[in-house]
């Protein structure tokens, strides 16, 4: 009885880990990496969904505004058998995405003088972006699917 509850809740089940290179640049247009799956029990992963999200914040203190943009999505609709005893299964991926420029960034790309003005505008408005990669695996017979989230450096 307890084993079935553990399996249904995903305890001792599939663990998902994202392995991505540390040198992320939003202008590269693709992100390559590996999804590592491990489990204490043999289970079947039916699909994996990944999202690259930009968190764009600007303003200071109480006037801070935060928006999130989905830059790209990848769905892997393949079945993966994850063996027992923690033996890893590695799934390589290539996620294509499109960067979204703010109006200030577009202004700064016009010429070198405007680039400096755009930099000053971003600093005075305290504008910054943070990028994260999220992944969730659908596991057969489990209610709580495993997921992982990695903040990408720039």
The predicted-structure confidence for 1-43, as pLDDT tens digits, reads as follows: 555 555 555 556 788 999 998 888 888 889 999 999 998 888 8
Q: Is the pLDDT of residue 73 over 90?
A: yes
pLDDT attached to residue 104: 62
What whole-number distance in Å separates Cα of residue 32 and Cα of residue 20? 7
* pLDDT per position as a tens digit, 120-148: 666 667 777 888 999 999 998 887 889 99
Domain spans of the chain, in order of start: 2-142
CATH architecture of 2-142: Sandwich (2.60)
């Amino acid at each position: 009885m307890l084993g079935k509850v553990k399996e249904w809740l995903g305890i001792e089940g599939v663990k998902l880990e994202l392995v991505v290179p540390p040198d992320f640049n939003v202008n590269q247009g693709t992100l390559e990496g590996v999804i590592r799956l491990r489990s204490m029990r043999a289970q079947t992963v039916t699909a994996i969904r990944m999202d690259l999200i930009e968190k764009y914040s600007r303003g200071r203190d109480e006037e801070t505004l935060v928006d999130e943009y989905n830059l790209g999505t990848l769905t892997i609709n393949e079945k993966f058998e994850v063996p027992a005893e923690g033996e890893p299964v590695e799934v390589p991926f290539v996620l294509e995405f499109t960067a979204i420029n703010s109006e200030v960034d577009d202004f700064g790309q016009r010429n070198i003088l405007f680039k400096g003005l755009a930099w000053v505008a971003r600093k005075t408005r305290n504008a910054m972006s943070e990028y994260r990669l999220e992944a969730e695996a659908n596991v057969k017979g489990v209610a709580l699917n495993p997921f992982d989230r990695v903040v990408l450096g720039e």
